[in-house]
Amino acid sequence: MQMFKVGIGVSKNRDPFLAGEEAGRQCLIELEQETPDICFLFSSVKFAHLRTLTGIKAVLPDVPLFGVSDAGEITSEGSLQRSLVLVGIKSDRLAFSAHLEEDIGIEAREKGRRIAERVKKGLQVKDRNKEILVLFSDGLSGSIADIIRGAQEVLGTSYPILGGGAGDDFLFRKTYQYYQDRVFEQSAFGLILSLPKIGFGMRHGWKPLGRPYKVTRAKKNVVQELDHKPAIEVYQNYFGREIEELEKSVLVNMIINYPLGIAVPGEKEYLVRNVLDIHLDGSLVFSADINEGEEVRLMMSNKEMVVAAARDASWEAIRGVWLEEIGLGIVFNSASRCKLLGRGRDKEIEEIRGILRQIPFVGFYGYSQQAPLSGGSHLGQCYAHNQSVVVLVLGE
């Protein structure tokens, strides 16, 4: 008898209530009318509305519900835009505990500690289970790195933390977080998931380009100077001064494919940081922090390298587990990768599906990702990432 069951519902109905209700009913049908133990919701900002949650709760009234708005949705069948995806999990072996913190732009590190303390205290551990902290957050706050640091002060640097930052359909204005029957802004929440089988992998596919630059002035996720010059000059030197004549929105869309990379001692992969905005003084705004004194380099990639990274992350996720033991995959993907691949973004989905085979998976394109830099085979420190794809597999 199968103990780990999954139901997935998808809707594009224009009415948020009806969309939530439709997805909830599809989820129940796939679960053969069994009520799930937990649900995850990933959706366009057009569904970031209490009516969406009310629609889901009309079908699944007592099911714990968690999720975020995004910049695109993912299912085993392919990528979606301006839709909602609901997944429900039914498992006798699943245990979880959740906690949310608001206003994460203030005392983010302390709030990361508080999330970890509360979820750890609330978890009723089941025998022989593995644990992982799944962390969701506002994708525009720039505070996720501090939240991770705070959580690691409680859980330890080798405790696996995975997740993603919310999106808003590439508007870069405001993102939303779904927690139980409420919609939040500028918040972060974590869930400790406890299951017998957990695997994960992370890759990005970007390689260093040119010489290193030293961060000589920065505050959190805003870099003012590189090598004592306005940070934007790195891109002016690479693309030519004519980019000064481009509109800011055009420039941001262009340089998103050339993020900055930070070398981490002892790690093969670079940490990648992509630009979200450009200030008038030439400062660059990133979706995660870059510290003064660090050395950064321009990074480059192409569509083939990006797609290959999704395949490698999937192989890493299933290393050490049998495919028959996996019931669900969750993909935390980068909105920047979605932009780079354009209409070819389903090639990434095809690569993941080729590795996971018949295993259903869901996910979303967000503004940041969280995972250990070395993947599941090495319990190294977790970091905030950009331009990356994280594949999480769950089962019994």
Q: Please tell me whether residue 75 adopts helix, strand or coil conformation.
A: strand
User: Is 126 in the same domain as 67?
Assistant: yes
User: Is 145 in the same domain as 11?
Assistant: yes
Residue type, 129: N
Predicted confidence at residue 327, as pLDDT, reads: 96
pLDDT band at 1 (very low <50, low <70, confident <90, very high): very low
* Residue 362: burial class (beta carbons within 10 Å; 0-12, 13-18, 19+): buried
Beta-bridged to residue 40, according to DSSP, are: 66, 87
User: Is 229 in the same domain as 362?
Assistant: no
Predicted confidence at residue 257, as pLDDT, reads: 80
Which has the closest alpha carbon to 213: 335, 299, 119, 117? 299
* Whether pLDDT at 240 is above 60: yes
Residues 6+ apart with CB under 8 A from 396: 3, 4, 91, 93, 195, 196, 197, 325, 327
* Whether pLDDT at 193 is above 90: yes
* Whether pLDDT at 116 is above 60: yes
Residues 257-267 pLDDT 10s: 889 999 888 78
Name the domain boundary from 265, 299, 333: 299
User: Is 224 in the same domain as 181?
Assistant: no
Residues 6+ apart with CB under 8 A from 242: none
User: Is 99 in the same domain as 80?
Assistant: yes
Residues shown for the chain: 396
User: Is 216 in the same domain as 238?
Assistant: yes
User: Is 180 in the same domain as 78?
Assistant: yes
User: Is 102 in the same domain as 149?
Assistant: yes
Predicted confidence at residue 374, as pLDDT, reads: 67
User: Is 125 in the same domain as 199?
Assistant: yes
Pairing outcome for strands 65-69 and 38-43: parallel
Distance between CA atoms of residues 262 and 34, nearest Å: 47
User: Is 283 in the same domain as 319?
Assistant: no
Predicted confidence at residue 6, as pLDDT, reads: 98
Mean pLDDT lowest for which of 64-78, 212-226, 233-247? 233-247
Range of the domain at 196: 5-204+304-395
Mean pLDDT score of the chain: 92
Average pLDDT over residues 266-291: 86
What predicted TM-score, i.e. pTM, was given to this entire model?
0.93
| Higher-scoring residue by pLDDT: 25, 247 | 25
User: Is 45 in the same domain as 178?
Assistant: yes
Instruction: Give how many domains the chain has, as a whole number.
Output: 2
User: Is 253 in the same domain as 385?
Assistant: no
234 contacts 242 by C-beta, under 8 angstroms: no
Residues 301-330 pLDDT 10s: 999 999 999 999 999 999 988 899 999 999
